[in-house]
Amino acid sequence: MTVITDAEFEEAEGLAPEVVRRYLSGKGWYAERGLSGAELWEWKPMDDPGRPYEILVPLQRRKDFAGRVVDILETLAVVEARRPGDILREMQLPPVDWQFLRLVPPGPSGTAPLLDLVSALTGLKDLHTAAASSALLPQAVQPGQKPQVVKEHVASVRLDQTRVGSYVVAAHTPLPDLRPGQQQDEAGQAWLFHDDAFPGSGQVSHSSEPFARTVSRMLFAGVTCAYAAAEETLARDSLADFEGYTGAGLSANLCEALVKIAGEERRAFSLAFDWSSELRMEQASPPVTLGPRHVQVLEEGAKDLRERAAREEGAILQGVVTRLSGQGDRQATIYGSLLREDASRMRSVRVELRPEDVDKATVAWRNGLEVAVRGDVEPYRTGVRMREVRAFVVRAE
């Protein structure tokens, strides 16, 4: 048993009783009964038919308060297979949601190849980016230019000390402190998991829910949908309709992030979620495990989502003509944005012009005038092109 240090003993003495109780509640412990100035709390592993673990939690600061907290820490250290000091430090954290990425690399337990870890951490960052983007607006493909709130969320994610179990990367997302007496919207808390919202509802968030929690929930839902879509594909030996899950957080970006976590060797991994007890999560959120076959399917699913997103009949393109080419100048390159996408996402689109559009495109090119074109968009090389043009309008200066 690891002995707690003098400095940690002093920190334990400064803990508030409600902090200890909040931590225990968040870890699945429950108060069995009250005693004189204390509560008896219990925890029982689901796969263990034996007697539960018990701890005595003081409700008031008395002379032996620090000693009682140390007893609690030592029991928790056995249950969680962690140092008492690490648990004490976690108790002192502000409200956070946790994500645990468990890798299964070759070699001794507790170690990981550098290249595997670099890829996994990059994928974890991309995973949070995709979830935060979907929390604002669920889309099959999230635009490359991210809103500031997404960047700020990713910047707020912190890595904690690794956990026991091969190689576990622990990340947490800070939540804002709830004001005393503030009530969470329990109906809003469950919105992401209702039958009409999972998958495909397109609902985003509720004003009573902090954005960081919305992202955590979207992350869990998106990863769960990715697993469901992969399982469906493997079961029927045909690519599932990934697009049907995009309303609940699945996107090509999220699938690509999961593929990146698996690394070049396509190693299995799992993601587990733990929620701040100050903002309760009633919906069960079991870990999601992805194997090499899942990862391969997710790579195919991401490509399919991108190809589908690149196709649109009757799309409207707005921009400026940067080049005329082809026989009779029948092809124009227009730098601009598609109406259905974020206006900040600018791209070069090859447009196949009708004979009657050539003179108008030439005037726009020579004078730097903006144009609006309506036609069918489809994938082309690494981008998109527009064919079957229905309208070509030059906007006056």
Q: How far is CA 38 from the centre of its chain?
A: 39
Please name the residues in contact with 152: beta carbons below 8 A apart, sequence gap of 6 or more: none
Of 178, 358, 166, nearest to 272 by C-alpha is 166
Pairing relation of β-strands 96-103 and 269-274? antiparallel
Q: Provide the pLDDT for residue 177.
A: 67
Phi, psi of 173 (to 5 degrees): -110, 115
CA–CA separation, 275 vs 28, rounded Å? 11
User: For tokens 């469901």, what's the residue?
Assistant: 228
Q: What is the pLDDT of residue 339?
A: 87
As a dihedral over the C-alpha atoms of residue 81, residue 86, residue 92, residue 95, rounded to 10 degrees, the angle is -60
Type of residue at 279: L
CA within 13 Å, CB half, 61? 7
Question: Alpha helices of the chain — where are they, by DSSP H?
Answer: 6-13, 17-26, 65-80, 84-91, 114-136, 148-156, 186-189, 211-236, 252-262, 292-310, 358-367
Q: E strands within 326-382?
A: 331-338, 347-352, 370-380
Predicted confidence at residue 7, as pLDDT, reads: 87
pLDDT at 1: 52
pLDDT tens per residue, the chain (397 residues)? 567 888 888 888 888 888 898 888 878 898 888 877 889 999 988 777 778 899 999 988 888 898 999 999 999 998 888 889 888 988 888 889 999 999 999 888 888 899 999 999 999 999 999 999 999 999 999 988 889 999 999 999 999 888 777 799 999 999 986 544 444 443 333 334 333 333 333 444 445 789 999 999 999 999 999 999 999 999 999 999 999 999 999 999 999 999 999 999 999 999 999 998 778 787 889 999 999 999 999 999 999 999 888 888 999 999 999 999 988 889 999 999 988 776 667 889 999 999 999 999 999 999 999 999 999 999 888 788 999 999 999 997 5
